[in-house]
């Protein structure tokens, strides 16, 4: 039986440009570079991100579908606002989803998973979160922090669950970045060690409780941030 060869096609340039603009604008929204409520003017975005109008509109439409950008008739695009209600929903969903994923990872754990957790925690422990003056974040800390949380959940057995957990983490990080300039810096390394210790010991209940408390500590910080925001 003859096999049909599927011809290879280069991806359309517009699609590539749209994906590049999407990734760059998404990164800047999540990191707080593009502040909540900011108007996203097409001409300014074209200059800032080196994109033409059609790919840029495609990128903005994708960001709208993710809830990171809003679009109003006659008023164009804006960065989606933040709200206390959304923040609480993100944290609740994250605690439920990651608690479930961590429980499954512990139940299915093996030596490879243990090694990933140990290595990720080691590199996180060697990375300062903030500069000496506590005014700027170390750019290496974020990826290593994410790597630790990824390692914890990596044995859960569900790529779909892991994808949802990453999405929720990114949405939570947006709030953390926005509020980070308003509060005293926190050293969370001991919290991460405590989570890892319980997980490695196979104590699911304790590990999930410590993970939840870890997120609830951040939750309280953001709640105070909203308490300091001026009334709309």
Q: What is the mean pLDDT of the chain?
A: 87
Q: Give the tokens for residue 150.
A: 């990824």
Strand, coil or helix: 137: strand
Whole-number pLDDT of residue 31 = 83
Whole-number pLDDT of residue 2 = 43
CB proximity list for 80: less than 8 A, separation 6 or greater: 29, 36, 67, 68, 69, 70
Q: What phi and psi values does residue 72 have, to the nearest 5 degrees?
A: -125, 140
Q: What is the mean pLDDT of residues 10-26?
A: 77
Q: Give the tokens for residue 136.
A: 């700027």
> Please, which pLDDT band fits residue 5 given cuts at 50, 70 and 90?
very low
Whole-number pLDDT of residue 39 = 94
- Alpha carbons 155 and 165: distance in angstroms, whole number: 13
Greater confidence (8 vs 96) lies with: 96
Q: Is 124 exposed, middle or buried (0-12, 13-18, 19+ CB in 10 A)?
A: buried
Task: Determine how many CB atoms are found less than 10 A away from the CB of residue 151.
Answer: 22
Whole-number pLDDT of residue 3 = 45
Q: For the chain, which domains are there?
A: 14-79 (1.10.10.10), 84-228 (1.20.120.530)
Q: Is 229 left (phi over 0), alpha (psi -120 to 50) or beta?
A: beta
Condensed to tens digits (0 to 9), the pLDDT of residues 170-199 reads 999 899 888 776 655 667 899 999 999 999
Q: What is the mean pLDDT of residues 58-74?
A: 90
Whole-number pLDDT of residue 12 = 43
Condensed to tens digits (0 to 9), the pLDDT of residues 142-179 reads 899 999 999 999 999 999 999 999 999 999 989 988 87
């Amino acid at each position: 039986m003859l096999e049909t060869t599927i011809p290879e096609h280069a991806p359309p340039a517009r699609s590539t440009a749209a994906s590049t603009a999407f990734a760059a604008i998404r990164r800047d929204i999540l990191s707080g570079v593009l502040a909540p409520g900011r108007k996203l003017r097409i001409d300014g975005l074209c200059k800032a991100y080196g994109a033409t109008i059609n790919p840029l509109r495609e990128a903005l439409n994708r960001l709208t579908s993710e809830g990171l950008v809003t679009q109003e008739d006659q008023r164009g695009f804006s960065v989606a606002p933040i709200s206390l209600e959304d923040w609480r929903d993100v944290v609740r969903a994250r605690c439920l989803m990651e608690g479930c994923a961590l429980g499954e990872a512990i139940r299915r754990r093996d030596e490879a998973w243990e090694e990933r957790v140990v290595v990720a925690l080691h590199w996180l422990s060697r990375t300062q979160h903030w500069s000496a003056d506590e005014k700027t974040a170390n750019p290496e800390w974020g990826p290593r922090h994410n790597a630790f949380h990824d390692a914890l959940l990596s044995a859960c057995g569900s790529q779909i669950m892991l994808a949802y957990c990453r999405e929720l983490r990114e949405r939570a990080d947006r709030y953390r970045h926005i509020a980070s300039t308003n509060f005293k810096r926190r050293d969370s390394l001991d919290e991460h060690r405590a989570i890892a210790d319980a997980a490695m010991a196979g104590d699911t209940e304790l590990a999930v409780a410590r993970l939840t408390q870890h997120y609830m500590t951040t939750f309280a910080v953001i709640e105070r941030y909203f308490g300091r925001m001026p009334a709309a």
